[in-house]
Amino acid sequence: MVKSLRMKAIPIFLCLTLAMAEVAWPQARPQAGDDLTMMLVKSYDLLEEGKLDQAEEIYREVLQRDHGNPLALNNLGAIMVKQKNYRLALDFLTQARARAKGYKVKVNKVCEIEGVCLAFRPLAAEYGNQDLEPLVQLNINLVKAALAAVIPKSD
């Protein structure tokens, strides 16, 4: 079931992202003074390099500065998936969804984590044409399916 959901959801998501994304011109990149954006970019890059502890530390710092930042919460969920902690991943993603409606980002890179969750690298925080809520919801659906696969239902 998880594999089937993944096989359907990820290509659909990627098509939607590419269809909705604007062309990223150099001037749209984060400015050096935009500390939170730079932190989100750096932490994503660390996540992709497999440096999960360092990435998590930066995401938690982002949350101290911007409580409830949905992009940081989403990507923390992806880290928890990588660590096979699906319940905590679901908690982070649920928190992210509550704040993601109307949170606009310009996603320039997507990282698939264990085939269950997607992490996002922003071009700019709260700037762009991509609403984060449906992306977080996709992750919630994928994590719920993964959780259901590892925890058998009681009859």
Tens of pLDDT, residue by residue over 21-69, are 332 323 333 443 378 889 999 999 999 999 999 999 999 999 999 999 9
With respect to residue 129, please indicate whether it lies within any of the assigned structural domains: yes
Angle, CA 68 vertex, CA 70 and CA 117 arms, to 5°:
35
Count of domains in the chain? 1
In a domain, 63, yes or no: yes
Compute the distance between CA of residue 27 and CA of residue 68 in angstroms, rounded to an integer. 28
**Separation between Cα atoms, residue 139 and residue 29, nearest integer Å:** 26
Q: Which of 141, 83, 131, 86 is nearest to 104 (CA)?
A: 131
CB atoms within 10 A of CB 17: 17
- How do residues 82-140 score in pLDDT, each as one tens digit? 999 999 999 999 999 999 998 887 777 787 877 888 888 887 544 567 789 999 999 99
What global pTM score does this model have? Answer: 0.75
Q: Does residue 9 register a pLDDT over 60?
A: no
Q: Is residue 155 part of a domain?
A: no
pLDDT grade for 15, boundaries at 50, 70 and 90:
very low
Model pLDDT, residue 17: 45
Residue pair 79/143 in contact (Cβ under 8 Å)? The answer is: no
pLDDT at 16: 43
**Which domain CATH number covers 127?**
1.25.40.10
75 found inside a domain: yes
Which token pair is 94? 């649920």
- H or E stretch at 113: strand 107-113
Is residue 14 over pLDDT 60?
Answer: no
> Are the CB atoms for 59 and 75 separated by under 8 Å?
yes
**124, 28 in Cβ contact below 8 A?**
yes
Please give the pLDDT value at position 153: 63
Domain carrying residue 55: 2-21+30-150
